[in-house]
Amino acid sequence: MLAMKVALAASFVGVVVGLCPAPKSLLRTPERGALLLPSRDNGMPAAAARTSIRMASSSPADGGGDEQSTGPFTRKSLLEGVTKAAGVLGAGTFVQKGFVAGVPYHGSPDLSGKTAVITGGNTGLGKETAVRLAQLGADVTIACRNPDKAFAALDDIKAQAPGAKVGAMPLDLASLDSVGSFAKRYASSSDRLDILVNNAGVMAIPERQATKDGFEMQFGTNHLGHFRLTSLLMPALLKSPDARVVNVASSAHLFASSVEWDDLNAQAPGAYAPWKAYGLSKLSNIYFTKALQRRVDSKGGSITATTLHPGACRTELGRYLFDPSQPANPLVYPALAALTLVTKSSKEGAQTQIACAADPALGKGSSAGGTYFVGPKISELPSELARDPEAAERMWAASEKLVGKFSV
């Protein structure tokens, strides 16, 4: 019960952190500097605010900045403010590093000669995973829906993993045709796949959207697209002596408190709810992992399927929570700045999936297969629904009905 509460709290923070389209727009250094300026609260343009601060900190000789100053800041108030801010920041950073950031994966297995596919490898947790696996020597393919973003990410990954073999291939998980084309293209470039990280995802789309094949977008992208992709890549995975399938789930699977088996795609009038659909997609990632491992084990295969919650991370996952056409409430800025202290960076968040993909101790012959990780540890799933093996099998059958047979 305690674990469930902790997981729910983590999901909630994740949800709020989703409010950052902002890793880009708010949390990077130049804008963070801008947040310190009282620019919008009082309608004062930023340049004018900067001028006020300069004036307040200037010497008495030039007419400003002493205790008597009538400007918005005195030297003393500024000093007090800066000291308090530094104290809060210091304490917050201590908490972030000590309790929130999680445990880094320190292993350095030699992955040379291994191949890896990472869906959504152009940003967020996927990109960090691509960087690390490439640094460890794997031949990495990022599978991305947007070619411009993919090429930009490739440059970045190569810069951080000089000499690594990294490529990109088009993949839109919201289209079964695209998933099929990706699998064909991959098969023509490589006959073996050692690591598949099913990482890509969308979260909390406000109104129901449909994939090209008519599935609800979150269930269709996060679960069905990956289910079909894994099925088509199975021949290549089965050729690996120690293959890994890593399904990035979330503690947000708790948002699905039940499964509407007759309406998995939320087609009935009023059935769609953004968070419930996200929760179902993440619950399905967990079911998929368990049902896949059961099948692999029954055939004596050498694939290890794991699933995980990465923690609440500052990525672009919250993109659907913002309406870019609306001006942001100024209170959002300090709130987001504070949230950086209770959330993980992309790099911190990616550590669990990197370990599941690369750690020799979590592969063939280990007890990791079919389990759910939170941080570096196997964790008991907090909900009875997620632990239900019959529901996992039922989801497998329903998924096959929607996207085609999955042979192990």
Which positions lie near ligand NAP, rule CB under 6 A?
14, 17, 119-120, 122-126, 145-146, 149, 171-174, 199-203, 221, 248, 250, 309-310, 312-313, 315-317
Identify the H or E element spanning 77: helix 75-95
Shortest distance (Å) from residue 199 CB to ligand NAP: 5
Catalytic annotation on 287?
A: no
Location of structure tokens 């109104």: 207
Residue whose CB is less far from ligand NAP, 44 or 335: 335
Shortest distance (Å) from residue 18 CB to ligand NAP: 7
Shortest distance (Å) from residue 24 CB to ligand NAP: 10
Residue whose CB is less far from ligand NAP, 123 or 351: 123
Token pair recorded at residue 369 = 């297969």
Q: What is the DSSP letter of 225?
A: I
Q: HSE on the CB side for 305, CA within 13 Å?
A: 26
Evaluated on CA atoms 344, 345, 346, 351, the torsion sign reads negative
Phi, psi angle pair for 230, to nearest 5° = -60, -40
Q: How far apart are CA 220 and CA 256, in angstroms?
A: 16
Q: Where are the alpha helices (DSSP H) in 105-162?
A: 124-135, 147-160
Residue whose CB is less far from ligand NAP, 40 or 276: 276
- Per DSSP, the residues of 42-73 read TS--HHHHHHHHHHHTS-GGGT--STT--SS-
Residue whose CB is less far from ligand NAP, 120 or 370: 120
Shortest distance (Å) from residue 83 CB to ligand NAP: 32
- Judging by beta carbons within 10 Å of its beta carbon (0-12, 13-18, 19+), is residue 50 exposed, middle or buried? middle
Identify the H or E element spanning 23: helix 22-25
Torsion (CA) 185, 136, 109, 184 in degrees, nearest 10: 0
Residue whose CB is less far from ligand NAP, 74 or 198: 198
CA-nearest of 130, 126, 105, 106 to 376 is 105
Shortest distance (Å) from residue 158 CB to ligand NAP: 17
Catalytic residue among 105, 186, 278, 287: 278
Shortest distance (Å) from residue 16 CB to ligand NAP: 10
Residue whose CB is less far from ligand NAP, 69 or 211: 211
* The Cα angle at residue 218 between residues 212 and 222, in degrees rounded to 5: 95
Phi, psi angle pair for 269, to nearest 5° = -55, 130
Residue facing ligand NAP at closest CB distance = 124
Q: How far apart are CA 285 and CA 251, in angstroms?
A: 11
- Catalytic positions, please? 278
